[in-house]
Amino acid sequence: MDFNRSIFFDGDLYDAFHAASPLFDGEMETETDVEFWLQQVKTYGDPVLELGCGTGRVSIPLMEAGFSVVGVDFSESMLARARQKSDRVEWVQADIRTLDLGRKFTCILAPYFVLNYFPELEDLEAVLNTCKAHLDADGKLIVDLMNPGFEFFKGIFDRGDRILPDREIVDPRTQEKIRSQFGDDYDFASQIYAEPIFYHFPDGKVVEDRIEHRLYAPQEIKAILKYNGFQVDASFGSYDGTPLQGDSVDRILVCSRLEL
């Protein structure tokens, strides 16, 4: 996926897109997950490295709480928006598969399904190698993965080819109203959950994005973590600390380095 060419990952439109979202039940808008990340860093300490920091939704509150934060993202547009919001976070444009900052962190965070964007095993392992190289010996890697259960898949197949409800985005740069149509589908062979998005511009132009996530099964991701040097110390199914269940939407894993 080319994050620098995708409309979805346009920094200004990304914030507008999520502000207009009817799909998160207010969760992202009220930032309940931000409080969760704050509590994790308060527990385990800083400095903090956030992978896939986007426009700074998590990094900036962590910095404002007094922590030392480095935010890394591949998208130049997302980081440009983040820099407009704050110059007190160290923003780094880089591919997290090959990142080399030459220093260690007590907490490495991968919120909002960052690892699901890597469909190939070798890419995910490259990201985990990055984490291992940058994590203190007693530090914590905390990742948030999709954990779709029965209702998730039932919703996809009940909808069939029908498009989810429209949402209207206001481009903050032009004040143009852009209508977006959002769909989803799942391929069991590749374990790819795809979200096609159609953007309808005022001049009649229609542009399609396709956002893809690899859905890692619970035991699969634990095995991948283990064979790449990590053990799972705790699992949550929600940002409120609820234990992980089969029907949890989130799968939040607190990991530490395996002792060799």
Q: What is the pLDDT of residues 120-169, one digit of tens each?
A: 999 999 999 999 999 999 999 999 999 877 777 877 777 766 566 677 88
The phi, psi pair for 41, rounded to 5°, reads -70, -35
Of residues 167 and 201, more confidence is placed in: 201
Burial of 183-201, coded b for 16+ CB within 10 Å and e otherwise, reads bbebeeeeeebeeebebbe
Sign, CA dihedral 103-141-54-46, equals negative
* pLDDT higher than threshold 60 for residue 177: yes
Q: What is the pLDDT of residue 86?
A: 95
Q: What is the pLDDT of residue 68?
A: 98
Share above pLDDT 70 across residues of the chain, in percent, rounded to a whole number: 91
| Mean pLDDT over each residue of the chain, to the nearest integer | 88
Out of 29-33, 81-85, 165-169, least confident range? 29-33
Per-residue three-class SS string for 107-142: EEEECCCHHHHCCCHHHHHHHHHHHHHHEEEEEEEE
CA 230 to the chain's CA centroid: 20
* pLDDT higher than threshold 50 for residue 25: no
Distances (CA, A) of 147 to 54, 116, 215, 238, 247: 22, 10, 8, 10, 8
Share above pLDDT 90 across residues of the chain, in percent, rounded to a whole number: 62
Q: What is the pLDDT of residue 182?
A: 81
* pLDDT higher than threshold 80 for residue 76: yes
The phi, psi pair for 98, rounded to 5°, reads -125, 10
CA 133 to the chain's CA centroid: 21
* pLDDT higher than threshold 50 for residue 28: no
Of residues 147 and 21, more confidence is placed in: 147
Give residue 3's pLDDT band: very low, low, confident or very high (50, 70, 90): low
Give which of 45, 58, 2, 8 is closest to 207, Cα–Cα: 8
Q: What is the pLDDT of residue 4?
A: 61
Topology classification of domain 11-148+216-257:
Rossmann fold (3.40.50)
Out of 58-72, 147-161, 181-195, least confident range? 147-161
